[in-house]
């Protein structure tokens, strides 16, 4: 399948992010591969996954496209920060590599444009630029990204962290950019997912609310405790 065909299949569809964090009970690539299978059975059109071994196992477990990333640390530029990280993610089996798409300095000293150009020159993968603001999104399009995601909205100093998805940013980006804008970040209900589509999202990425049982449990536990 060509990249444009793959993208076309994701239009108006749900992507499920299957991630567990270091030290957690489900932080095992086998668990995430099972999670990915369950998500695909429920209608996920693609899987987003973190970590090379997770990506490898998920590649074998499902046939839908995979958006892969490597998290390095949890502050500053931490989503697939370097070109080498991105190449490793593609090598592990991702059709799309999600990278930090902000205007911040990258640890390997390359610009976003150089990073994307090298990924395109050396692989067939598409690049999803995870951005935190409108200006990031514009810059990411100019730098050659294939997809822009609102993933980092509320995780950089440029935008307040909204309770639910940052629909305002989504709407601004979708109204302005010429490439698919994926809604991602704090989409916790099917209604919010729908609102994201109505705000112009090409696809909707949901993680925590589907694949992070500890957080979901804490929502219910807090509600029960009152």
Give me the residues that bind ligand LRY (CB under 6 A), please.
Answer: 17, 19, 69, 151-152, 155, 184-187, 205-209
99 phi/psi in degrees, rounded to 5: -130, 160
Closer of 107 and 117 to ligand LRY (Cβ): 107
d(CA 75, CA 22): 15
Smallest separation (angstroms) from ligand LRY to the CB of 124: 22
Among residues 220, 223, 210, 184, the alpha carbon closest in space to that of 26 is found at 210
Smallest separation (angstroms) from ligand LRY to the CB of 211: 8
Smallest separation (angstroms) from ligand LRY to the CB of 113: 22
Smallest separation (angstroms) from ligand LRY to the CB of 98: 7
Smallest separation (angstroms) from ligand LRY to the CB of 132: 9
Q: CB–CB of 201/174 below 8 Å?
A: yes
Closer of 7 and 149 to ligand LRY (Cβ): 149
Q: CB–CB of 180/151 below 8 Å?
A: no
Closer of 54 and 56 to ligand LRY (Cβ): 54
Among residues 49, 149, 27, the alpha carbon closest in space to that of 93 is found at 49
Closer of 1 and 21 to ligand LRY (Cβ): 21
Task: Using CB positions, name the residue nearest to ligand LRY.
Answer: 207
How many CB atoms within 10 Å of residue 111?
13
């Amino acid at each position: 399948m060509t990249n444009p065909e793959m993208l076309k299949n994701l239009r108006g569809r749900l992507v499920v992010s299957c991630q567990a964090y270091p030290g957690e009970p489900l932080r095992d690539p086998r668990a995430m591969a099972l999670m990915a299978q369950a998500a695909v059975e429920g209608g996920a059109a693609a899987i987003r996954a973190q970590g090379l071994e997770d990506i490898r196992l998920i590649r074998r477990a499902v046939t839908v496209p995979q958006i892969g990333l490597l998290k390095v640390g949890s502050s500053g530029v931490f989503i697939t920060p370097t070109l080498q990280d991105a190449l490793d993610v593609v090598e592990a089996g991702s059709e799309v590599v999600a990278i930090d798409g902000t205007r911040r300095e990258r640890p390997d000293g390359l610009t976003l444009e150089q990073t994307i150009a090298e990924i395109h020159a050396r692989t067939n993968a598409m690049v999803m630029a995870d951005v935190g603001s409108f200006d990031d999104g514009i810059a990411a399009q100019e730098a050659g990204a294939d997809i822009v995601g609102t993933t980092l909205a509320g995780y950089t100093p440029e935008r307040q962290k909204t309770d639910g998805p940052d629909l305002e940013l989504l709407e601004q980006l979708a109204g302005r950019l010429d490439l698919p804008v994926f809604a991602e970040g704090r989409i916790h209900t099917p209604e919010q997912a729908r609102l994201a589509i109505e705000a112009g999202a090409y696809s909707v990425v949901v993680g925590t609310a589907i694949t992070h049982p500890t957080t979901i449990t804490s929502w219910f536990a807090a509600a029960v405790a009152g």
